[in-house]
Structure 1
Amino acid sequence: NSGPIAMGIWVVLLNFNEFVNYVVWYSDADNRAPIWCDITIGLGGQVGRLAAVYCIARFLANIVSPRATAITRQDRHRRALHDYLMSFGVPFLIMACHVVYQSNRFAIQRGRGCLSTQFPSWPTLILRWVWGPVFAVGGMLYSAYTLYRLVRHRRNFSRVVAGAHSALTTARFLRLAALSMSYLCIGVPLTLYSTVLNIASSGDYFDYSWTYFRSTWHA
């Protein structure tokens, strides 16, 4: 359940964050809650949601794999640790690296609230923009493999799922598969499009200089 739990946590956090941002800054862009902005721009929720879906897709692919074995308690603990590190640890680490290419402490936009800022540079590309597509494409590949196995073994699929002893029923497996695949079918094109758009619209890239970037940094 670690993947779905992580996904649920991210959905709740991001919806709450967007609600607060809209309520506080629905009519202006005054800097009335700087600490809140520091927190909200460091969530990394866009990557976190994709990482959670990636973990769900990976889990389902492992169940239908011909190399699958009975899942033990230790396997569940290892999978939970892996899923939570991927879903929360990686996004928080990515956002912790934001200080490397951050152009301002944060930006505030009317109707949207707190936004992160960044200089167009190679650290921005490597430390920020590539990770959404990485998780999206990885999840799509796992989902494609799961779908292939589902079609190939459709007549005895319930036995394949039961053989992993994962506590998943066939119906629950199919619901999780439908959730991850439907999200990825929407998320992959949008993620790739937004990444390409960010790169294309950012203009000329700067040669990275910590001193230069910090010289323009202000709240």
Structure 2
Amino acid sequence: MGVWVVIANLNEFVNAVVWFDNAADRAPVWCDISLSLGEQVGRLAAVFCIARFLADIVSPRATAMTRQDRRRRAIFDYLISFGVPILVMACHVIYQPNRYGIVRGLGCTFTQVMCWPALVLRIIWPPIFAVGGMLYSAYTVYRLVRHRRNFRRVVAGAHSALTTARFIRLAALSISYLCIGGPLAFHSAVSYIETSRRYTDYSWQYVHSAWKLEPVTINEKLYVADLSN
């Protein structure tokens, strides 16, 4: 998760600095890189893996983990945390009507056509990871409340490398992030759908018809985050 937070902050910082008062197409290579990172999906995927790990520790089926078990878990976590975001961003070209867009005050932005590939390959993933993480976190809290008197024994029974204090900190981190990131994931998905205006039957030729005519979209209107809602 820390990797995705650093990447996201660095990406947004560079975009804000370079395009804080303009929407000039001055760094096309950077925009290509910036929009291929997939940090929005990556952060929620990482938190989902953390929540799943904590739920497994307090599960009544928890047993001592062997080296092979740890290896399988690590492979699964890496595939979810990094593999899914990479795959999501690689598939973006399928429903990408322009190379990228630039918004004054915001920087490089995605362009997309509302069609079934956009829904299946991008929009639904943050809410899916958010819901999954919330369910795992709710289960963890339930188990801890139910076995609060034997909390130390429950954590120690999983034979993980976590101490009780580390478990609590990690649980607090994941739950706190999900309380914020979960609603934002749904808000972002709804915003994508609303700003796309209408659903379009998918056609590769139609979606990519503007690539040569308008490879980059420019929006000179200053972007200001609306925090009133």
Q: TM-score, normalised by structure 2?
A: 0.90
- The whole-number CA distance in structure 1 between the counterparts of 2:195 and 2:105 is 22
Q: Which deviates the most, 22-31 or 154-163?
A: 22-31
- Percent pairwise identity: 70
- What does residue range 76-91 of structure 1 map to in structure 2 within 5 Å? 76-91=70-85
For the residues of structure 1 that align with 2:204 and 2:122, how far apart are their CA atoms?
17
Give per-residue Cα distances to partners, 1:10-41, cap 9 Å, x unaligned. 01111111111111111211111111111110
| Structure 2 partner of 1:3 | none
Question: How far is the alpha carbon of 1:215 from its aligned partner?
Answer: 1.2
After the TM superposition, which residues 60-209 of structure 1 pair with which residues of structure 2 at under 5 Å, given as runs? 60-209=54-203
Distance 1:201 1:82 in 2: 34
Contact map agreement 2:65 2:158 (CA 8 A) in 1: yes
Single out whichever of 186-195 and 120-129 deviates more from structure 2. Answer: 186-195
- The equivalent position to 1:36 in structure 2, one of 27, 30, 33, is 30
In 2, Cα distance between equivalents of 1:109 and 1:193: 20
- TM-score, normalising length: structure 1: 0.94
- In the alignment of these two chains, the number of paired residues is 213
Q: Distance in 2 between matches of 1:109 and 1:201?
A: 14
Q: 2:42 corresponds to which residue? A: 48
Residues 157-192 of structure 1 deviation map (CA, whole Å, 9 limit, x = unaligned): 101101111110011001111011111111111211
Q: Report the Cα offset of residue 201 of structure 1.
A: 3.7
Structure 2 CA distance for aligned equivalents of residues 164 and 23 of structure 1: 47
Unaligned 5+ segments in structure 1 are 1-6
Q: Does 1:57 align with 2:58?
A: no
- Amino acid aligned to 1:97: C
- Look up the SS of the partner of 1:108 in the other structure: strand
| Partners of 1:63 and 1:173 in 2: CA distance | 9
Deviation at 1:216, TM superposition (A): 1.0
5+ long unaligned stretches in structure 2: 217-229
User: What CA distance in whole angstroms lies between the structure 1 residues aligned with 2:182 and 2:6?
Assistant: 21
* Higher helix residue share: 1
What is the SS of the residue equivalent to 2:24? Answer: coil
- The 3-state SS of whatever aligns with 2:138 is helix
CA contact (8 A) 2:97 2:209 kept: no
